[in-house]
Structure 1
Amino acid sequence: MARRKEHDAQVDPFTAGEPTLPWDEPGVFDGLFNGIEPETCILDGSPYDGPTKTRDDYEAPSADDTADHSRREQSPSPSEARERKRQMQAERTAARRAAKAAPKDKRGPSPLGKTVRAIAIFVVLANVLPALFYGIGGLFSDLTSETGSPELIEPKAPSYDGHDPSPGIDMDSLDDDERTCVQICEAYLQAIASEQSPERTAVIDGLNQSMMETTGYTCEELGIDANAYADWALSNFSYRIDSCYAHTDEGTASLYLYTWGPDLLDMRATLRQSVYSYMSELDTDEAGAKRPLAENEQAHVRELFAEAIENAEMDSESFLGFQLAFEDGTWVLDLEQAQYQLGIPLGY
């Protein structure tokens, strides 16, 4: 117990003296440097001059100069301040009196200046006011109905009558070859509605194929008149030749035209969806084959067909190009290429 108290006794750092470090113990480094020769000094006793620098080009101000400058910056005495204030007041008073005593220019604008300004104002008003009143009147006339109450007028949608309202190609601006090419293409376009035209047959085949892929029945089996469909499609088809370029030396010509008519692809897609939905409700399979549709079933399909035609978009526009070749002294239309181009608006 006595040893513990001695170990835990407080030590006063101010009276404890200097501590004894390990290397201060006697005999710690004995024999450590035995056999090691001391290194010789590099200078070998020669004189050594340390690096020097030039004297700074600066002179500190003297105590007298500093005292004079501090005296100059001191505030003026009270008498000097009052004297300066009186001088400033006297100068201001003299300036006000001089301003009051100066003669005033009471001359107004000359009669000539007044006349010129009046004429200028009149000219501006005469030119601006009529246009302003006209614009305001036109604005209110557009916003006012027949009853006189202002209202917003909805823009009118352009009406479509199956034909392009703009004029066709100017035949007088074409040379003989270009006029010949235009006449050949017009004769071809007017013949596509004939009973035996390949374009009309392609329109009928397009509808038949669409119904077969959807229901497994032909148009005749569904009760749809494909010939009536072709008549409707081609009777609402119109065109306008836009331009023609003939290169006789190269033996080629190009004719460009716009076409308008019903969107047959969209119409057929609508018909396929409605007929498919109806046929899905019927039990048309008999012994692994399609049974003939009853008269009432065909009548309902015809109603769906008439509804699709009634809701068809009638202003579908296309831009086509026909190619012609100069063969044996005659311009000939590339029928295969023309039929392919017409497949876009006629949906085949």
Structure 2
Amino acid sequence: MKKKMMTAVLAMTMVAAAVAGCGSSSGSGTTVELTNEAGGDAQAETQKAEADQTAAEGTVYKVGIVQYVDDASLNQIEKAIEAELTAKGAELGVTFDYADYTFNGQADQSILTQIAADLVADDVDLIIPIATPTAVVMQSATEENQIPVVFSAVSDPVGAGLAADVNAPGSNITGTSDAIDTAAIFDLMLAANPDTAKVGLLYDKSQASSLGAIEDAKAYCDEKGIAYVEKTGTTSAEVQAAADALVAEGVDAVFTPQDNTVMTAELSIFEKFIDAGIPHYTGADSFALNGAFCGYGVNYEELGTKTADMAVDILVNGADPAATPIENLERGIVTVNTETAEALGLDYSMFKDMCSEVVETVTAEEFE
């Protein structure tokens, strides 16, 4: 990071010493040490805060944003992050330069690795990876240089090895989680159809974010005496084949957690399930936008906004990512695709008493 030095002179007993600030700055990232021999501690603290504020103004922070793949949820998160960084920059008088450092990994490990190397070479001040696979790559790339990483939409940060503890992540990384309540989703499933006897579990086994929720789903089914069939796919074509297999198995419903591979394929499989009379219950609202019957989870716009706020706190206020708790937004928002519900003949009126909010949507590719 580029550093600049400036000197400030305060009247009477106030003595200011300029020290190096952080950020790839076009202004000055200076902090000021103040003392008051007369004991005016409150006044000294006020003046120090004002000096720090003035010093930060004009600073340019280089922020890398790396999305795992194009899908409705992740696109929504990225847009929210960018909007919040722009708004906070205007509010604080600084610039968050993300436009020059925003990339899409296209769900390709080699591309993500190259993006990480490029961001490190560009000496960015902070990296925001979106989704678990992206966060894992960015963490690996920053272990030695300790560039701060603030991830977004990581379902199980501890299980993925990204954090030692959600309250004290450790090292240079923190962020936001979109962990879901799997049991609550299955409760919705049984409320809509108490006769559900066999459930299909559709996911990508290479997606670490899906594994914990799938294990929770199996435990729920075992407890309730519900049979389950697992089908997986690592590409859209494989997911389509897995969906066909679940239809052939005659499942009563299908469950998918926040799985980016299945999300990418949803527009190509939702009609298969509708034609077979099978409701698809999922762990994100974007699935419902792309044709699934029901999505249950966090508000991804709020998740992106919160992620950006955490990044700003680290860059501008010097917050330590290692000691910044991972944020898990309030869960309980159900999104129902009304076109799919009508096609399936499903009544979801009881959902309003089982969650914090029911949102209705129709099939589209992106959120407006």
Shorter-chain TM-score tier: under 0.3
TM-score, normalised by the number of residues in structure 2: 0.21
TM-score, normalised by the number of residues in structure 1: 0.22
Q: Give the number of the structure whose residues are more often helix, by fraction.
A: 1
Larger Rg, first or second structure (1 or 2): 1
